Amino acid sequence: MTIAPSEKAYVPFVSVDHMMKLVHHIGMEPMLRGLAEYIEADFRRWNLFDKTPRIASHSEEGVIELMPTSDGEVYGFKYVNGHPKNTKAGLQTVTAFGLLANVGNGYPVLLSEMTVLTALRTAATSAMVARHLAPKGSDTMAMIGAGAQSEFQSLAMKALVGLKSVRLYDIDAAATKKAARNLSGMGLEVVTCRSAEAAMEGAQIITTCTADKQYATILSDNMVGSGVHINAIGGDCPGKTELAPAILHRSSIFVEYPEQTRIEGEIQQLDADHPVTEFWRVLAGEVPGRTSAEQITLFDSVGFAIEDFSALRYIRDHIGGTDYYRDLDLLADPDDPRDLFGMVMRAAP
Ligand code: NAD
């Protein structure tokens, strides 16, 4: 992607309202498929990118993170938080915004909300990975944790993997009910369940997407049979995991960027040299994905900067010719670049 330097010193800004309108303009499932295409394309050119574990600032209540990357032409970052107790105060667990910039001159070329976009990109990534690793013909998913991400996860699996049925469970029955209501009429059979075990009956894909800042055991070893794909989304911080370690020892583990996942993912529970596969290598044809019907594949997802970069690229490429952004006066633009002071003085009332 080449982003030409803007002639005017304005930066397109996509608000939450714009993002929601863009989703309806494009369509939820086409957008999830489009995002997955962009993410897959960027995973295929993995080695081009600058990569670093995200920069995290932890507190008792949660975490605030910066997630930067660059492909040499375009630079991007996301600001994102994770505060599991927020929902009790009527706030989101995860909120985010992000930016793309031109590496050539350092000028921002897009500023966007990323709370909605993170849910979309996380779901698109999960489904893109499941399409390569889940057992062939997977049509049923257990969705454990029915919070903000859950409907996006379910619809992405429908759009990309061909999911027909989703089995929902949340410790909070109101959340299960909310997700069931939101997913009704979306072309999926929706089954609400009273336990995680019940949700897993007949499921080939198991998604865990709960929020709790602790070593939780959402799945214990005896709950997981052979031949399933686990899409573990919720364990994404030091001290925050969802799976019993014994499951990890029985699974083939696929990760985004090991340097970050070893700090934040389920594999923080394992020895630092426990073998894991970087998922981009599967796409590149360097290593196999699923090799047998009995294998347990586990996507230990924590969310990586390249996925956000791809999502911002997708937005940048799809807002042209729409009303779903506005120009933001974010950059100082004095006539003489060295006369910043004069520009400020001339603005005197
Ligand atoms: P949310 O707070 O909206 O929903 C979490 C849900 O989990 C809640 O409804 C809660 O009742 C439920 N829950 C908690 N403990 C449970 C248990 N033991 N069994 C069943 N349900 C339980 O949060 P969200 O925005 O949906 O995010 C969920 C998690 O995913 C968070 O931890 C977040 O940090 C993580 N996340 C990961 C990625 C990624 O890329 N991997 C991206 C976004 C969010």
The answer to the question of residue 90 being in a domain is yes
What is the span of the domain harbouring residue 76?
A: 11-116+306-341
Q: Are 266 and 238 in contact (CB under 8 A)?
A: no
Q: Are residues 331 and 183 in the same domain?
A: no
Q: Are residues 154 and 263 in the same domain?
A: yes
Q: Are residues 215 and 295 in the same domain?
A: yes
Q: What is the CATH number of the domain that holds 31?
A: 3.30.1780.10
Pick from 256, 260, 305: which is nearest to 96 by CA?
305
Question: Which residues, in sequence order, are CB contacts of 230 under 8 Å at separation 6+?
Answer: 205, 206, 207, 208, 219, 224, 243, 247, 251, 296, 297, 298, 299
Looking at the 3D structure of the chain, how many domains does it have? 2
Q: Are residues 269 and 318 in the same domain?
A: no
118 C-alpha vs ligand 1 centroid, how far in Å?
13
Q: What is the pLDDT along the chain (349 residues), one digit of tens a residue?
A: 444 444 557 999 999 999 999 999 999 999 999 999 999 999 999 999 999 999 999 999 999 999 999 999 999 999 999 998 999 999 999 999 999 999 999 999 999 999 999 999 999 999 999 999 999 999 999 999 999 999 999 999 999 999 999 999 999 999 999 999 999 999 999 999 999 999 999 999 999 999 887 889 999 999 999 999 999 999 988 999 999 999 999 999 999 999 999 999 999 999 999 999 999 999 999 999 999 999 999 999 999 999 999 999 999 999 999 999 999 999 999 999 999 999 999 999 9
Q: Are residues 259 and 157 in the same domain?
A: yes
Q: Are residues 22 and 65 in the same domain?
A: yes
The answer to the question of residue 6 being in a domain is no
CA angle 57, 59, 64 (to 5 degrees): 40
Q: Which of the residues are catalytic?
A: 236
Q: Are residues 198 and 293 in the same domain?
A: yes
Ligand 1 pocket test, pick from 170, 177, 215 with the greatest ligand atom count within 8 Å of Cβ, gives 170
Judged on CB neighbours under 10 Å (0-12, 13-18, 19+), 266 is buried
pTM of the full predicted structure? 0.96
Q: Are residues 129 and 183 in the same domain?
A: yes
The answer to the question of residue 4 being in a domain is no
- Token pair of 338, please? 């060295």
DSSP labels, 283-348? HTTSS-S---SSPEEEEE----HHHHHHHHHHHHHHSTTSSS-EEE--S---SSTT-HHHHHHHT-
The answer to the question of residue 5 being in a domain is no
CA–CA gap between residue 54 and residue 264 (Å, rounded)? 10
184 C-alpha vs ligand 1 centroid, how far in Å?
21
Q: Are 31 and 117 in contact (CB under 8 A)?
A: no
Smallest CA separation from ligand 1 atom 35, residue: 234
170 C-alpha vs ligand 1 centroid, how far in Å?
10
The answer to the question of residue 346 being in a domain is no
Q: Are residues 172 and 282 in the same domain?
A: yes
